[in-house]
């Protein structure tokens, strides 16, 4: 197959970490509004993005995820005061580590979605699925 056909047939697996207070509520609202969401995503609800340890992301890649998204409250609106600020700092370090492992930045996205931004939630996940689809399958040692 040529590269374009490979992209068309590749169905990426995306793991999404959702903060309990904002992005999970946006996900729920999108579901209640029956908005079409990418079927390639699997979600993990966390109390705060500041609690997403970089090891969780590395474990997701080792277990077969082709991309990871971390969605939380907008800066300044964190229910835990500065949890999302900690997430931003960790994410920058995580991206540097992933680059060392040969993993593209587009495979690990941190973004912010408030409870009422269900359209933004769906748009971000759709963008990530398409970006990862173009990148193709990840080449990361997987663990069974």
User: The whole model's pTM is what?
Assistant: 0.92
Only one residue has tokens 């998204």, namely 69
Mean pLDDT over 4-8 rounds to 56
What CA–CA distance (Å, rounded) separates 134 from 114?
A: 28
The pLDDT > 70 percentage for the chain reads 92
Using the predicted structure, report yes or no on whether residue 141 has a pLDDT greater than 70: no
Write down the pLDDT at residue 142.
Answer: 64
Whole-number Cα distances in Å, 31 to 14, 34, 35, 89, 91: 18, 5, 6, 31, 28
Helix (H) or strand (E) holding 4: helix 3-9
Tell whether the model's pLDDT for residue 67 goes beyond 80.
Answer: yes
pLDDT tens for residues 41-50?
999 999 999 9
- pLDDT (average), residues 56-74: 97
Confidence of residue 1 (pLDDT cuts 50, 70, 90): very low
Nearest to 103 by CA among 142, 74, 130: 142
Residue 136's pLDDT band (cuts 50, 70, 90):
very high
What average pLDDT does this structure show over 83-106?
96
Please check the confidence at residue 8 and state whether its pLDDT lies above 70.
Answer: no
The confidence score (pLDDT) of residue 89 equals 96
CA distance linking residue 111 with residue 88, whole number of Å:
9
């Amino acid at each position: 197959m040529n590269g374009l056909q490979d992209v068309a047939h590749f169905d990426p697996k995306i793991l999404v970490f959702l903060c309990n207070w904002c992005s999970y509520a946006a996900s729920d609202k999108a579901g209640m509004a029956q908005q079409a969401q990418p079927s390639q995503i699997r979600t993990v609800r966390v109390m705060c993005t500041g609690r997403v340890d970089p090891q969780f992301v590395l474990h997701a890649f080792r277990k077969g995820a082709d991309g990871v998204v971390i969605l939380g409250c907008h800066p300044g609106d964190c229910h835990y005061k500065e949890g999302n600020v900690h997430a931003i700092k960790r994410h920058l370090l995580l991206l540097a580590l992933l680059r060392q492992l040969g993993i593209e930045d587009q495979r690990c996205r941190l973004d912010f979605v408030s409870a009422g931004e269900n359209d933004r939630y769906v748009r971000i996940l759709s963008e990530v699925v398409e970006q990862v689809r173009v990148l193709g399958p990840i080449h990361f040692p997987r663990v069974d």
